[in-house]
Each structure stands twice: as structure tokens, then as C-alpha cells.
């Protein structure tokens, strides 16, 4: 077998602190349906969003090591907090390419904005890292970024309260902070892998606060696109759906939560210790 064919057969590795990263797998399976995917959710140690950069880096390296041991050809960090705090360490420790969530999200936001003011919402760890500000400034020094931590949105998405009154109230309370300035944002980055589930509510509330449509971008689809470009001829383009093997460090509530994020039924998680 030639090297290219061998590469095509290797799976793509994806990890997250929990189940939110399955929104990235969902996009990946749309963009590259023939690829096999190995997913790891570090559900025993979730959330990463409230932990220090050092801890997030240490946990993320452990997750990546697990995927590399399964011979993946590419690693996707399907967690904004891990991407924002651990990307350099993960890249340095990996013999295969590593795609984080921040850079693709920042590029999509810059492509979408018209007035140059972008808002990003995420966990405390993502906002505190300043990673989105750095990524955006590197691409366009004139663009303005306002970053806002929205810690209540992760539990809402997990609870499945994604289109009711409580979700609207939480979204309104948080997002109003992005619209009461001279130059209101015209583009909102969902800088957390849980937030795509709340997309409709966030879009609706942002429109109501701005008085016009606000572009909402998430890193999930942008990451899948980067993976497709990066793999090029090493992508598996067969016509049958690839395998999805899911692992987790704790399996509590996964049967209930995981399909919500993946958008399709799944066969289950294998419990692993890192």
C-alpha cells in the first residue's frame, strides 16, 4: 500500500473536555463523510473552562496522547478552552498536524464582519487567555474584538434548555453587554463547542439587540473546512460513511447528552482512564 493510501485509512482524532466537541464531529462528518473518527471526551474532568491554563494544558496533552496512540493522522482540538490555552504545547508534542478552534473561528469572523467589530463568547478560560484577540489582531490590526465569558450557557446546552424562555433570558443578559457601545458588534463568534446548540436563540437575541441581522459564526464548521484543506489527497473520499469510535473518561449521562450534540444516534462510549 502506498503512503497516500495508508494515510487515507488512518482516522482523524478529535478531543474535547466533554460532549460539546461532538458538534465538531457533526461538521466533520458532513464535510468529510468517508473519514473514520476517534473521539475522546474527558468527561471525568470537565469543565476545563473554569480551570487554570496549566491544568488545561496538562489535561489536553493527556487527551492528545490517547489519540496519537490510536494512530490518528490529524488532531482536532474540539474545545475552545483547550485551543486557547494549550495549542502551542499540543503542536510541539504532536508528530501529526493539530487544528485548534480559535484560528478557524477568527478567520470566519473576519470574513463575515462589515464594520470590523467582532464579539466572541466563550468560557472564562477562553476569554481570559486573550487567544481570540491575538488571532484577530494578527490577521487584521484594525479589527476590534470584544470578548465575553458566558459560563451559564454550557449547563443550559447540556440540560437541553436551548429554545425556551430561560435560554432567551440568559442570552439577552449576556449579549446586551456587546451591544451597548458606540460601535456595536456585527459578527458574533460562538467560541465554545457547546454553543452551536444555542445558535437559534443567540441569533434571535443578537438580532433583537442590534436591530438588524448579526452574523453568527462557529468554529465547528470552520475547523472541518480546515481539516479538508489540510488533508488534501490524504482525505478518505470513499462513498461509505466512516466509523465513529467514542471514548470518555466518565460515562455518566452520556447516552442522554451525546446524541444532542452529535445530531445522530451513536453506538456508545468506551470508558478509558488517561
Active site residues: 79, 192
CB of 238 to ligand DGL, least distance (A): 30
Per CB under 6 A, does 63 bind ligand DGL? no
Q: Count other C-beta atoms under 10 Å from residue 247's C-beta.
A: 21
Per CB under 6 A, does 193 bind ligand DGL? yes
Per CB under 6 A, does 105 bind ligand DGL? no
Cα→Cα distances 190→141, 219, 255, 261, Å: 21, 7, 25, 15
Contact 118, 190 (CB under 8 A): no
Contact 209, 142 (CB under 8 A): no
CA contacts within 13 A on the Cβ side of 92: 7
Distance between start and end Cα atoms, the chain: 33
Stretch that binds ligand DGL, among 191-199, 207-215, 239-247, 260-268 (CB under 6 A): 191-199
Per CB under 6 A, does 104 bind ligand DGL? no
Per CB under 6 A, does 194 bind ligand DGL? yes
Of residues 214-253, which lie at the interface with ligand DGL (CB under 6 A)? Answer: none
Of residues 120-149, which lie at the interface with ligand DGL (CB under 6 A)? Answer: 122-123, 126
**Binds ligand DGL by CB under 6 A, chosen from 60, 81, 85, 249:** 81
C-alpha cell at 102: 480559535
In the chain the beta strands, taken as DSSP E runs, fall at 12-16, 37-41, 74-77, 98-99, 117-122, 144-149, 187-191, 215-218, 244-248, 269-271
Per CB under 6 A, does 20 bind ligand DGL? yes
Per CB under 6 A, does 64 bind ligand DGL? no
Per CB under 6 A, does 41 bind ligand DGL? no
Residues that bind ligand DGL (CB under 6 A): 16-18, 20, 46-49, 79-81, 122-123, 126, 154, 192-194
Amino acid at each position: 500500500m502506498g503512503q497516500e493510501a495508508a494515510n487515507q485509512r488512518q482516522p482523524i482524532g478529535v478531543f474535547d473536555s466533554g460532549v460539546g466537541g461532538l458538534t465538531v464531529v457533526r461538521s466533520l462528518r458532513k464535510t468529510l463523510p468517508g473519514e473514520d473518527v476517534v473521539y475522546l471526551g474527558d468527561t471525568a474532568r470537565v469543565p476545563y473552562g473554569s480551570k487554570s491554563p496549566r491544568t488545561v494544558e496538562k489535561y489536553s496533552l493527556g487527551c492528545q496522547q490517547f489519540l496519537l496512540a490510536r494512530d490518528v493522522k490529524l488532531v482536532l482540538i474540539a474545545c475552545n478552552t483547550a485551543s486557547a490555552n494549550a495549542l502551542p504545547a499540543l503542536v510541539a508534542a504532536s508528530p501529526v498536524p493539530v487544528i485548534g478552534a480559535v484560528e478557524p473561528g477568527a478567520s470566519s469572523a473576519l470574513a463575515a464582519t462589515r464594520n470590523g467589530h467582532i464579539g466572541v463568547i466563550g468560557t472564562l478560560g477562553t476569554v481570559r487567555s486573550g487567544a481570540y484577540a491575538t488571532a484577530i489582531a494578527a490577521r487584521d490590526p484594525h479589527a476590534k474584538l470584544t470578548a465575553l465569558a458566558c459560563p451559564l450557557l454550557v449547563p443550559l446546552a447540556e440540560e437541553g434548555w436551548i429554545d425556551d424562555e430561560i435560554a432567551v433570558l440568559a442570552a439577552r443578559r449576556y449579549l446586551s453587554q456587546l451591544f451597548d457601545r458606540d460601535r456595536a458588534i456585527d459578527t458574533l463568534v460562538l467560541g465554545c463547542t457547546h454553543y452551536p446548540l444555542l445558535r437559534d436563540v443567540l441569533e434571535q437575541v443578537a438580532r433583537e439587540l442590534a436591530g438588524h441581522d448579526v452574523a453568527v459564526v462557529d468554529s465547528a464548521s470552520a475547523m472541518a473546512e480546515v481539516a479538508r484543506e489540510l488533508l488534501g489527497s490524504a482525505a478518505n473520499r470513499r462513498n461509505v460513511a466512516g466509523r465513529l469510535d467514542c471514548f470518555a473518561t466518565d460515562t455518566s449521562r452520556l447516552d442522554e447528552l451525546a446524541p444532542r450534540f452529535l445530531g445522530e444516534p451513536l453506538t456508545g462510549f468506551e470508558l478509558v482512564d488517561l
